[in-house]
Amino acid sequence: MSVVEVEGLRKSFGEVEALRGLSLAAHEGEILGVLGPNGAGKTTMISIVTTLVRADEGTVRVDGIDVRTDPAAVRTRIGLTGQFAALDDNLTARENLTLFGRLLKLGRAGARERAAELLAEFDLLDAADRRAGTFSGGMRRRLDLAASLIGRPRVLFLDEPTTGLDPRSRNSLWAIVRRLRAEGTTIVLTTQYLAEAEELADRIVVIDHGEVIAEGTADDLKHRVTGAVCHVRVDEELMPRVEELLSSRWQVSRSAEGLVVPADGSGTLVEVVRLLDAHDILVEDLGLRRPTLDDAFLALTGQATGS
């Protein structure tokens, strides 16, 4: 059953078309990864689904309820962790959570109890009575996430939850997201990091320029790119020159490991070696491999992701 159904969503801001007929669905109990580069329309989509912004066209249903006709009912079923932490720096962690509990009508005692529960669950008990402004980036994210879970939402929307986090905090947040799914929460997560989508999402929707350009599991998407790729690594100083050289013959992209060109069997490998050798360029690493999700994303959008 689909808990979130988005159909034919359109939204323009002045001249800019942020969403151009976007459709997607998140099924009960899954983590849906919405992957796309900056400006793809991820945040606009989240804002519409969470009742913050009205769509120009299209329908959105959350738990079967139309966000346009009954936004108030939708709000009782969702939790939102946006890109900016929704916390008061001069309130303690406990005060922050208690405030949201009061607003969700848990009552004075109920709000306090729920806050204590979440502080324990998110490993924040030691810092419970410190002001949120003194927290590290990772702790702030955890507290912000805890705040969006006070009402035990059926669907949790996470808009780029790990942007700017160090690897350890990121891993601990990932563990929390997995635990929430195990407890039955449906999660819609936007990200510009392939590793994150691959790591967490049961299904991935790739969006670009306000449209869905691919959909499936990480494996499905990888299979979209057939054949192999040839990767080349040279000294950092030589990179621009090598990129230029290779660009004359192939469509080159940069990745974490260096430069990548689509390979047509081992012939491409030999040609790359010859070309670089003819220019006396010393290669640090070179080889053929199967495409990664990164390569799939590049092939689909024509641009690199944030990873």
Q: Does 253 bind other proteins (CB under 8 A)?
A: no
Q: Position of tokens 């940069």?
A: 254
The β-bridge partners of 110 are none
Gap between the Cα atoms of 50 and 47, Å rounded: 5
Q: What is 255-270 written as a DSSP string? A: ETTEEEEEE-THHHHH
Q: Which residues have a Cβ under 8 Å from the Cβ of 201 and sit 6 or more positions away? A: 31, 32, 33, 35, 189, 218
Task: Kindly determine how many residues on this chain lie close enough to bind other proteins according to the rule CB under 8 A.
Answer: 37
Shortest approach of other proteins to residue 257 CB, angstroms? Answer: 35
The three-state secondary structure class of 275 is helix
Give the ranges where 183-257 is alpha helix by DSSP (H).
194-200, 218-224, 239-247
Interface of this chain with other proteins, residues 106 to 135, rule: CB under 8 A: 106
Of 105 and 168, which has the nearer Cβ to other proteins? 105
Is 50 an interacting residue with respect to other proteins (CB under 8 A)?
yes
- Shortest distance, position 55 Cβ to other proteins, whole Å: 15
Does residue number 100 form part of the binding site for other proteins (CB under 8 A)?
A: yes
Interaction residues for other proteins, span 152-191 (CB under 8 A): 152-154, 183-185
The β-bridge relationship of strands 253-255 and 258-263 is: antiparallel
Q: Which stretch binds other proteins (CB under 8 A): 99-107, 188-196, 205-213, 288-296?
A: 99-107
The contact pattern for other proteins, residues 28-47, with x = CB under 8 A and - = no contact, is: -------------------x
> Site for other proteins (CB under 8 A): which residue of 84, 236, 237, 240?
84
Pairing of strands 203-208, 211-216: antiparallel
CA-angle at 64, arms to 63 and 65, nearest 5°: 95
Shortest separation between residue 48's beta carbon and other proteins, angstroms: 11
Please state, in angstroms and as integers, the Cα–Cα distance from residue 108 to each residue in 98, 115, 125, following that order. Answer: 8, 11, 19
Nearest distance from residue 148's CB to other proteins, in Å? 7
Separation in Å, CA 12 to CA 36, 209, 233: 18, 12, 42
Cα–Cα–Cα angle for 47, 37, 30, rounded to 5 degrees: 60
* Token pair 């929704």: residue: 86
Interface map 139-158 toward other proteins (x if CB under 8 A): -----x--xx--xxxx----
Question: Which of 43/301 has CB closer to other proteins?
Answer: 43
> Could you tell me which stretch among 3-11, 104-112, 242-250, 273-281 binds other proteins (CB under 8 A)?
104-112
Q: Could you tell me the two tokens for 232?
A: 């080349």
What x/- string results for residues 269 through 298 when contact with other proteins is judged by CB under 8 A?
------------------------------
Asked if 138 interacts with other proteins (CB under 8 A), we say no
Q: Rule CB under 8 A: which residues touch other proteins?
A: 47, 50-52, 72, 75-78, 80, 82-88, 90-91, 95, 99-100, 102-106, 144, 147-148, 151-154, 183-185
